[in-house]
Structure 1
Amino acid sequence: MDLTAAQHVLKQVFGYDAFRPGQQAVIEHVLAGENSLAIMPTGGGKSLCYQIPAMLFDGITVVVSPLISLMKDQVDALNDSGIPATFINSSLEWPDIQERLAALHNGEYKLLYIAPERLDSAAFIQSLASLPIDLLAVDEAHCISQWGHDFRPSYLALSTAIEQLPTHPQVLALTATATEQVATDIRQQLRIDAANEVNTGFARDNLNLTVVKDQDTDRYILDYLKVNAGEAGIIYASTRKEVDRVTKLLQRHHIDVAPYHAGLAEEVRRQNQEDFLYDRVQVMVATNAFGMGIDKSNVRFVIHAQVPGTLEAYYQEAGRAGRDGLPSEAILLYRASDLQIQRFFIDQSEMDEEHRQRAYRKLQVMNRYANTQGCLQQFILHYFGEESAPCGRCSNCLDDREAQDVTTDAQKILSCVIRLRSRYGKAVVAQVLTGAHNQRVLEQHLDDVATYGIMRGQRQKAVGELIDFLTAAGYLASVGGQYPTLKVTAAGGAVLKGETQVFRKMARQVKRLAPEDDELFEQLRALRRSLAEAIGKPPFVIFSDRTLHAICEALPVDDQAFLDVKGVGQSKLDKYGEDFMAIIREFVANKGQDAGESAS
């Protein structure tokens, strides 16, 4: 099948002149009838890789998606662009499902979104077997791998279901977060040739990464939201209790906020999510129960108020900021005590010992990320098997804070680890250094160690945080799973010998994410919201913030000029063009009048 047809759909339906990195390569595999795997960062345009072929195939494209909210958002956006799509999930009654299946038989839809749990039903697979399915797109494909951070047992039915479909549809797997091991697992389970993997890299050029350590997190959040008032964002916390606490804190400071976690009634969760998607509230405070597949493109920031369990989960959640490509920020507020929450989750899980030890090691990686003073983007890319130069935009690359010489305290810690013969972890080392009198220290005669009490003037917490920093910086190594012990590295040995000095940065201040929006942008944003409310869809379904900014720059006042704006297809022009151009004409006329009055 000719790629020219795909480029025509890209322009006429979606309003884009050129493919984004990786999209063309993936679509070429799909059009050639090959099973393929697309690994692209969140916001990289994965959905177009199956939506465009779906418009070109004679039959149906089935999209396996793990969350109901994602299905509805994408179906709404597709229908608004003139593409016939529907979904079948647990939100529908049986008569509605039957009606949609009948419409699929009659060729009324090109795309069908389903949840993976549907494939556990032999009756439903039998219903699918009677449909002319050309392509099966597996979204969030990392869920199929037991090596991944978000394994879903229901995904294991995929390969069996594919074999039972008489059309033997080709498979397109898509994910934003996959280590080399997870990617290999996906390919093996879905029978994808390694040559058909398209990996555009994990870097997000518009996403600024920030780590804030050892600071008052409540004060930082309040200051950040004040400086970035009006911007949409998500604040993640690890527990329901913390979500409720942060929500109440923000409400007391008159911030438009809503909570989301599994302890809330389903109707409350649904309403809060809708309010966030429709821009009625600016901030969502949530556990990780919220977000996978949330298609809201104008999320400007994601703040993790507590440390997540894995770097994969962190980067996927952070990637929900800036899906429209505009400058956005992902902030991790780090406290070493938050690691205990994740350890508790691991201890209470039903995973076997092998998986439990792997989970502890993943948590150690998350801890090293939070404490590194190297490039944050580079750290993440290295974890995913990709080498890169420093990004030049994360909080570490742009760090102009004053550096404090902590060489002497570092030498005390390193010396203590050696004198304890590398048999203990961070907590015991900090206790010995600060001269603790607890039972373990006294019973094991650790108070007889030469370094006992040499940092008595400091709090154990502060010493523990410095140990975290030294570990992340490579002067110490954390060895083991559930109960890791510390050992001095070669770099640490150089510090002990006085060959290397150690410096640590001071507290971090909040900054405004983006310049103030101009008058026309705010007028167009208000129009977008009113139109969205009228049709019962989220504002970003009409136009993304990026498209609104492009409209402000181009100032189109006729159909062709409006159609030339990136992100405007024919359907969007027909539905919304005149309303937006009316505001632009008035704005241009007023500006001209103001200029005339100034000249006179």
Structure 2
Amino acid sequence: MLSEARKVLQQVYGYPEFREGQKNIITNLLDGRDTLGIMPTGGGKSICYQVPALLMEGVTLVISPLISLMKDQVDALASLGVPATFINSTLEAREVEQRLQGAMQGKYKLLYIAPERLESERFRARMHALNLPFVAIDEAHCVSQWGHDFRPSYVSIAPFIRELPNRPIVAAFTATATAEVTADIARLLELDGAGIFVNGFSRDNLELTILRGENKRDYIQNYVKEHTHQPGIIYAATRKDVEELYELLRKKGYAAGKYHAGLSDEERSYMQEAFLYDDIRVMIATNAFGMGIDKSNVRYVIHYNMPKNMEAYYQEAGRAGRDGEPSECILLFSAQDIMTQKFLIEQNQLSPERKANEYKKLQTMIDYCYSPRCLRNVILHYFDETNMKDTCGNCSSCKDDRDTVDITVEAQKIFSCIRRMQERFGISMVASVLKGSKAKKILDYRFDRLPTYGIMRDLPEKEISDLINVLISEGYLALSDGQYPVVKLMQPAADVLQGKLQVFQKVRKQQVKAAAIDNTLFEQLRLLRREIAQREKVPPYIIFSDSTLREMSEICPTTAAGMLKIKGVGEVKFRNYGLPFLELLRTYAGESEIGVAAYDFD
């Protein structure tokens, strides 16, 4: 069966071979076994269920959380010559009925629905009459209350599958899940003896950067100015920040859009479509934007504020570089971000257990922002990844050429102060005592009488707080859970106080920009793609992805056979779109005749 799957991959999608993770998942599904796939964003999970769907008799039901994702997937499949459709709240009852009838008549191979649709008894009854050999569940982490995006509607999936006359093969996919959430998904979706495939969370094409202490507005303006021709997303924690950044960039003349829950459905739809079609280059958004946005050529994602947890951060950052091309993920961190996220947690009506879990996840994110370790390794460790290199060589920590400075004495001062304060207070209180603050609370506790009072008065209080956070991220200190965490000493701190261990820190140097690359042909191919996309009324990446155009510009094929060897150029796409690109490539190479008619596709 795998040989048949490879044939479909080559003819329909234009790829010669599956990635290792895809091959294992597809083999498991074609052997008739339930499957849970944990794959990073851009890892090619759609192919994992689309290829088996094309090889199975009947209609595959795909449960997907967002309307935009359904439309994008169906448009992309249509460009490949694959019959697919969706049913969601944008359709009138007559259109829903027509599409259901079409599914009954075997007109479609894939039918996309939202999980809320399963709450309709009438719809479930219609599904009972359909030949459903396979059900694929996207964004499966939404079923777990311990995941970062719990959706109650996902709880309806398991009972629906249980009610079907013949139980289909079930596959569930997500990009980010800890071991705890993975086990929860398998249990709640009642995956029957499922094969669980964790295909690695590493995204080698992403350059991860943490910047602390930047003037955020100035940084955004400068970055967008230097990357005006590249699509990017800027995530902000609040609607207010989104609106302010949007106005700032629009006034500067940049093609910017905005997206948050406070906009009307029409405004959100317009902004999203303009971004997908490259009419706007940079989208400023809250976390309401992104899940299911299948735009492959996003070149950068900037977090204007620290996200609430690692899952949300890595999923949002992972929307850059889905085509495998080098892309930047930049997090602009400030201490105020911590207060913002704590405020948002308190605003949610959560059970005490879930609220404690949210604070625990937030602290992990804070530790990440202060960590001097390889950022990719910090993320992979969080997701229980064991197959890690010592360093990635491509994050702000690994590329940091700062001089190493011995800060053992400063660390001892901090640890001694925490011990003398009996490990009962938070970071800001400890920093205030070390600074020698005369705040009423410090005087009331008589902390001004401690030997460590004012012992670090030469440093700004913020710098002392930052240093405490670094020591927390390095495991010398720990914070208790909750809204007001208390700093605790760990064993390494005791070793430092006893002179058994030294502590080091670095001072940042200015990084040098890499030399510019000649992208002339690549940009000409992008312009041609945009013209065709406007004519066909589809997003540009549905014609060909940036990575496909990049390979075209590097190899510069001048025959139809050569074009079909480019990754992402299948037979259907070549028939539909290939000729204009081939003409451009031949013109660039200085050739004339094309001779496409002589190529046999059969």
Q: Residue in 1 aligned with 2:596? A: none
Instruction: Report how far residue 425 of structure 1 moved.
Output: 0.9
Which residue is equivalent to 2:381? Answer: 382
Cα–Cα, structure 1 residues 515 and 28, in superposed 2: closer, same or farther, change >3 Å? Answer: farther
1:494 aligns with 2:510: no
User: What does residue 598 of structure 2 align with?
Assistant: none
Residue number in structure 2 paired with 1:109: 108
Describe the SS at the equivalent of 1:279.
coil
Q: Cα offset for 1:487?
A: 1.8
After TM superposition, give the deviation of residue 403 of structure 1 in Å: 4.1
1:132 Cα deviation from its structure 2 partner: 1.1
Query: Does the Cα contact within 8 Å between 1:475 and 1:492 map onto a contact in 2?
Result: yes
Match of 1:65 in 2: 64
2:418 maps to which residue?
A: 417
Normalising by structure 1, we get a TM-score of: 0.95
Contact kept in structure 1, 2:368 and 2:375, CA below 8 Å: yes
The answer to whether structure 1 residue 345 and structure 2 residue 344 are counterparts is yes
Partner SS, residue 212 of structure 1:
strand
Rounded to whole Å, the distance in 2 between the matches of 1:324 and 1:30 is 25
**Deviation of residue 560 (structure 1)?**
1.5
C-alpha distance in 1 between matches for 2:516 and 2:104: 51
The one-letter code of the counterpart of 2:437 is A
The separation in 1 between residues aligned to 2:210 and 2:185, in whole angstroms, is 31
Aligned residue in 2 for 1:568: 569
The normalised TM-score by structure 2 is: 0.94
Cα separation, 2, equivalents of 1:195 and 1:590:
54
**1-side partners of 2:453 and 2:504: how far apart?**
24
Q: Does 1:242 align with 2:241?
A: yes
Q: Is the 8 Å Cα contact of residues 79 and 543 (structure 2) preserved in structure 1?
A: yes
Q: For the residues of structure 1 that align with 2:230 and 2:516, how far apart are their CA atoms?
A: 11
Q: Which amino acid aligns with 1:268?
A: E
Match of 1:274 in 2: 273
Q: How does 1:148-547 map to 2 (within 5 A)?
A: 148-193=147-192, 196-387=195-386, 388-389=388-389, 390-507=391-508, 515-547=516-548
Partner in structure 2 of residue 136 of structure 1: 135
Mapped to 1, the partners of 2:454 and 2:56 lie a distance apart of 73
SS at match of 2:452: coil
CA RMSD in angstroms, aligned pairs only: 1.8
SS at match of 1:566: coil
User: Letter of the aligned partner of 1:66 in structure 2?
Assistant: P
Distance 1:512 1:21 in 2: 35
Residues 416-461 of structure 1 deviation map (CA, whole Å, 9 limit, x = unaligned)? 1111011111121122222333342233222332222223344332
Which residue identity does 1:368 align to in structure 2?
D
CA distance in 2, matches of 1:156, 1:584: 51
Structure 1 unaligned runs (5+)?
592-600
Unpaired segments of 5 or more residues in structure 2?
Answer: 593-602
Query: Cα offset for 1:87?
Result: 0.7
Secondary structure in structure 1 of the residue aligned to 2:24: helix
Q: Given that residues 53 and 60 in structure 2 are in contact (C-alpha distance below 8 angstroms), is that contact kept between their aligned partners in structure 1?
A: yes
Is the Cα–Cα contact under 8 Å of residues 63 and 113 in structure 1 kept in the other structure?
Answer: yes
What is the number of equivalent residue pairs in this alignment? 590
Distance in 2 (alpha carbons) for counterparts of 1:298 and 1:218: 24
Asked whether 1:121 is paired with 2:120, we answer yes
| CA spacing shift, 1:220–1:511, aligned 2, 3 Å | farther
* Whole-Å separation in 1 of the counterparts to 2:578 and 2:513: 32
Sort the Cα spacing of 1:323 and 1:458 in 2 relative to 1 into closer, same or farther, 3 A: same
Q: Sort the Cα spacing of 1:512 and 1:92 in 2 relative to 1 into closer, same or farther, 3 A.
A: farther
Q: Percent identity?
A: 49
Q: 8 Å contact 2:401–2:509 — kept in the other structure? A: no
Kindly provide the CA deviation profile for residues 179-224 of structure 1, in whole angstroms up to 9, marking residues without a partner as x: 1111111111223356611111111111121111122222322333
1:568: Cα distance to partner? 0.4
For 1:421 and 1:291, locate their aligned partners in 2 and report how far apart those are by CA, in whole Å. 45
Cα gap change, 1:513/1:167 in structure 2, threshold over 3 Å: closer, same or farther?
A: farther
CA contact (8 A) 2:400 2:508 kept: no
Q: Which amino acid aligns with 1:505?
A: K
Structure 1 position 81, deviation (Å): 0.6
1:133 aligned counterpart, secondary structure: coil
SS of the residue corresponding to residue 284 of structure 2 reads: strand
Does 1:93 find its partner at 2:92? yes
Q: What SS does the aligned partner of 1:223 have?
A: helix
> How far, CA to CA, are the matches of 1:273 and 1:548 in structure 2?
23
Q: Deviations over 1:297-347 (max 9, x none)?
A: 001111111011110111111111110011112111111210111111111
Q: Does the Cα contact within 8 Å between 1:43 and 1:319 map onto a contact in 2?
A: yes
C-alpha distance in 2, partners of 1:450/1:276?
59
CA contact (8 A) 1:54 1:61 kept: yes
Determine the C-alpha separation between the residues in 1 that align with 2:403 and 2:327: 25
Say if 1:213 and 1:507, in contact at 8 Å, map to a contact too: no
